[in-house]
Amino acid sequence: MTRHRYLTTAAALAAAALVLTGCATNPPSGSAGGAPAAGSGADLQAKIAFLMPDQASTRYEEHDAPGFKAQLAKLCPKCEALYNNATGDASKQQQQFNSAVAQGAKVVVLDPVDSTAAASMVNTAKAQGVKVIAYDRPIPSIAADYYVSFDNEAIGKAIAQSLVEKLKTGQLPPDAGVLGVYGSPTDAAAGLIKKGMKAGIEGSGIQLLAEYDTPDWKPEAAQNWVAGQITRFGSKIVGVVAANDGTGGGAIAAFKAGGVNPVPPVTGNDATTAAVQLIVAGDQYNTISKPSEIVAGAAADVAVGLLTGKAPQAPTTLFATPTQLFQPTLVTKENVKTELFDKKIVAPGDICTPTYAAACSAIGVTG
């Protein structure tokens, strides 16, 4: 991650830690694999696995894993983080889980490739006294020990409502509508985002022309599908509500390849570097700022808490699992400077490359 982003999110992590640990009551009767450890994590020695699902989004390598490792090092200097990415392969993630448990991991932070298949991993963990923290994506069919995420349903509703408001500022043809480009059908978080997206469009008077669940969140799959819809619907497509920046970027690429100019408003989620550049340039309409170091740090807080018998009390429950949800921030070209650049969540040098220098300058940002 950039130094600017790290400095900002480090402060956010500290605040999150205070919120989480300050409300801890009724700690669990024992830590994973035996009696609860005494005191803080300062002298604790344990292995904690951090298993991420794919590389379709750059966030896991650039932000989630570094954020988790940084917070774990602060809370438990002698603990070891076992990080792996399943690259979209559920079988591979099962092998990574098995390896982590075999290596003696006492807590597994799991962002599942397949939310249904992940239930068997939770069952295995329970049988061996290993704690499981569902991360970003819930595991609906079985209760994990904790769930930490941004509010995915709120994310979907926010990006969709923002798109609807944008479209209603203009004159729409009576047969016009939007495309719904959702996330992976095996991802329960994608299901929550989809639910929010549909709620944001429902009752707006704007029709959904067609919908698509993007396998493994692959941008190229989204691009190919949107290209087909452009052939099918042509100028009837006045917008695309896409579940993340990868699928949104795929939609934008399809419009550009099809010679559609201007590109209709397209949503996103994650505030990736590429998406912020597209927003600055006017090619993508919105995204969601959710510095994932915040949830990664919260997962480290919970993991150490479970091991020391001081797990934080969860503010809510989702899928029978104690849950901590963080609230997202909607970003458009109108507030990208104040929300991302001024708050140092992104660095001008990362966004304002020569291709985007003029667009950055137009909103008052210089690289």
262: preceding bond cis by omega (within 30 degrees): yes
Q: Which CATH class is domain 152-289+330-362?
A: alpha beta
Chain centre to alpha carbon of residue 363: 27
For domain 3-151+290-328, say whether CATH 3.40.50.720 is its number.
no
pLDDT tens series, the chain, 367 aa:
443 443 344 444 444 433 333 333 333 323 333 333 445 677 899 999 999 999 887 889 989 999 999 999 999 999 999 999 999 999 999 999 999 999 999 999 999 999 999 999 999 999 999 999 999 999 999 999 999 999 999 999 999 999 999 999 999 988 999 999 999 999 999 999 999 999 999 999 999 999 999 999 999 999 999 999 999 999 999 999 999 999 999 999 999 999 999 999 999 999 999 999 999 999 999 999 999 899 999 999 999 999 999 888 999 999 999 999 999 999 999 999 999 999 999 999 999 999 999 999 999 999 7
Q: Return d(Cα 287, Cα 162) in angstroms, integer.
A: 10
pTM: 0.85
What tokens were used for 115?
Answer: 């939310």
CB 72 within 8 A of CB 13: no
> For 266, which DSSP code?
B
Fold agreement (3-151+290-328, 152-289+330-362):
yes
How do the domains of the chain map onto residue ranges? Answer: 3-151+290-328, 152-289+330-362
- H helix or E strand, kind and range, residue 210: strand 207-213
CB 266 within 8 A of CB 248: yes
Q: Return d(Cα 312, Cα 22) in angstroms, integer.
A: 7
Query: Helices in the chain by DSSP H: which ranges?
Result: 3-22, 59, 65-75, 90-102, 118-127, 152-167, 188-201, 219-233, 245-257, 273-281, 292-308, 336, 348-351, 357-362
Q: What does DSSP say about strands 105-110 and 47-52: parallel, antiparallel, or unpaired? A: parallel
Q: How many residues does the chain have?
A: 367
Q: Return d(Cα 227, Cα 213) in angstroms, integer.
A: 15
Q: Is 258 exposed, middle or buried (0-12, 13-18, 19+ CB in 10 A)?
A: middle
CB 87 within 8 A of CB 61: no
Of the candidates 226, 206, 210, the residue with the CA atom closest to the CA atom of residue 218: 226
